Amino acid sequence: MTSNHGKILVILFSAIIVAGAIFFGLRYLSEWHEREIQNALELQRNRLEERQTELAFEIRRLEEQLEEKREEDAAPDRRDAEVFGETPEDIEEIDRCAFLEKRIDSFFDYIDGKMELEEPSARRIFFSMMAELEEKPPLVVGETRDLITLLRNRAHFFRVLKKERIDMVRHVLQAERDILESAMADFYAYYIGEEQCTAESGERLMDMEALYDYAGFFLESISGKSYLMRRDSSTRILSAYYSILILDKAIDKGINRYGIDIREHIDAAMDDIRHRGDLRHRDHYMEQLRHLQEKHSL
């Protein structure tokens, strides 16, 4: 009886100890788990705060970039207005030729001021150069028949225009590079394009056959390609683009006497222009080239 009673006490005591161990074990595990959860939450909160700080910094950086982009987008317009004058809001309703003539006048006045020219003016120098270049066109084909012919063709502009005027042209191309895209568009539209502006003014660059010679020179000859490769990429690409437009007009007039295949030049120009974000009128150039691509496709 006493022995059984002792066994019962031992069992009860063991059960109490086990229950206590379980209780305190579960409590410890609960507190540990709670601490782990708190630590995890704290770590997550720190990460979120860190990410929030990074996002705030990224937003500020993007806002600064956006503001810089707005300033960059506005800069060409301000520069354009500085050189060519303000563009009227109702541009669709104005006399297109008169508008282009005013812009070209402003361009020459600007060059006069920058070059500090007295007499003759930049305009007179420019058109005297055009007359001399028209009178002495370059070779488009046959330049490789001998070394002397090739060297003369490579030095074509220097031979015709001489050093002083070449230096002036080089200065304009380098110092005023940011306005050349607008200037080239204006000159092409006024003197060569569909506006027929020169019919009233009487002022012209060259006749179409001479323009065709220079377009072919830049597109086809070793000397012309070499000349463009020494220019900055924008000037090279735009010169090729306007040469293609001139070649298209020559084909329409039946004076493509060298049989130049315009299609390969259209494809090359599209490849050059397609990814050029620095060209203000890239979409217009691509649209024109796609039109010519369809026009001249077999």
Mean pLDDT across 95-124: 84
Q: Domain of residue 26: give its range.
A: 1-84
Last residue of a domain, one of 84, 114, 145: 84
Same domain, 145 and 134: yes
Same domain, 143 and 251: yes
**Contact indicator for 268, 229 with CB cutoff of 8 Å:** no
Same domain, 33 and 169: no
The 10s digit of each residue's pLDDT in 218-251 is: 999 999 999 999 888 999 999 999 999 999 999 9
Report how many domains make up the chain: 2
Same domain, 156 and 181: yes
Per-residue pLDDT band at 74 (split at 50, 70, 90): very low
pTM: 0.72
Same domain, 14 and 124: no
Mean pLDDT across 98-117: 86
pLDDT of residue 131: 94
Same domain, 100 and 175: yes
Compute the distance between CA of residue 173 and CA of residue 171 in angstroms, rounded to an integer: 5
Same domain, 76 and 107: no
Same domain, 178 and 218: yes
**Contact indicator for 241, 269 with CB cutoff of 8 Å:** yes
Compute the distance between CA of residue 164 and CA of residue 166 in angstroms, rounded to an integer: 5
Same domain, 72 and 107: no
